[in-house]
Amino acid sequence: MAVIVRNMQVVHSDIVAAARKAGRDPAEIRLLAVSKSFGADAVIEAAQAGQHAFGENYLQEALDKMTAVRAAQPTICSTLEWHFIGPIQSNKTRPIAEHFDWVHSIEREKIAQRLSQQRPADLPPLNVCLQVNISGEASKSGVPAEQAPALAHAIAALPGLRLRGLMAIPEPAATFEQQSEPFRKVRLLFERLRAEGLALDCLSMGMSADMAAAIAEGATMVRIGTAIFGERNYDK
């Protein structure tokens, strides 16, 4: 059996196991396949095995891949959902607003306003998550947790966007307990924002190395690259 298909089966059974261990319904957890650095063939193979949502970090790479998938498999292409998960430069917002279904990496109001204004009127609002910097390091992406509530309320008011939740990329950590701590902080922030009246339903957290800890802390979408597609050619 092809490697990607077999890897996807393993990831699905790991999600089920992690959910059951946490007393959660595995159906609450969506799998985002992070296809950065892999080509259209890999996306098509995963899609043919039932994968629906794909995550990309680099705009030009993603647009080229969408074009190639569409050319090779137009029917499959029309069913796919594309998620932008990388840093966003303000001069790149228009193609993101035009070609993606979701953006996980919003960290500034200015970027959110541009995406809202540039979202084509014939498409549904762009689903977005606020990226939170939970480790508090100046070098890391994401809005500091203290500033997240004000930014979340501002984004929720933008007509071209639909604020779905929070995304976080904690520092790599060795043990399950160390991995869990930042995810717990993100979940508490998520619960606070919901208590403040925001209709959030997405906690985008967990990657290949820390998926089980993220699920134990309430992740509703895990972003998995390496465990599905293998080691990347570049590392970003």
Ligand X SMILES: *Cc1c(COP(=O)(O)O)cnc(C)c1O
Which stretches of the chain bind ligand X, using CB under 6 A?
34, 36, 57, 85, 169, 207-209, 223-227
Closest contact distance (angstroms) between CB of 74 and ligand X is 27
Whichever of 69 and 88 has its CB closer to ligand X, that residue is 88
Alpha-carbon distance 144 to 133, whole Å? 5
Give the nearest residue (CB) to ligand X. Answer: 225
Shortest distance, position 162 Cβ to ligand X, whole Å:
20
Q: How far is the CB of 18 from ligand X (least distance, A)?
A: 14
DSSP annotation string for 170-203: PPP-SSHHHHHHHHHHHHHHHHHHHHTT----EE
d(CA 94, CA 42): 26
Q: Which is nearer to ligand X, 163 or 214 (CB)?
A: 214
SS3 220: coil
Least distance (Å) from ligand X to the CB of residue 71?
Answer: 25
Q: How many CB atoms lie within 10 A of CB 28?
A: 14
Nearest to ligand X of 66, 169 (CB atom): 169
Measured from the CB atom, the residue of 122 and 235 that comes closer to ligand X is 235
Contact 170, 211 (CB under 8 A): no
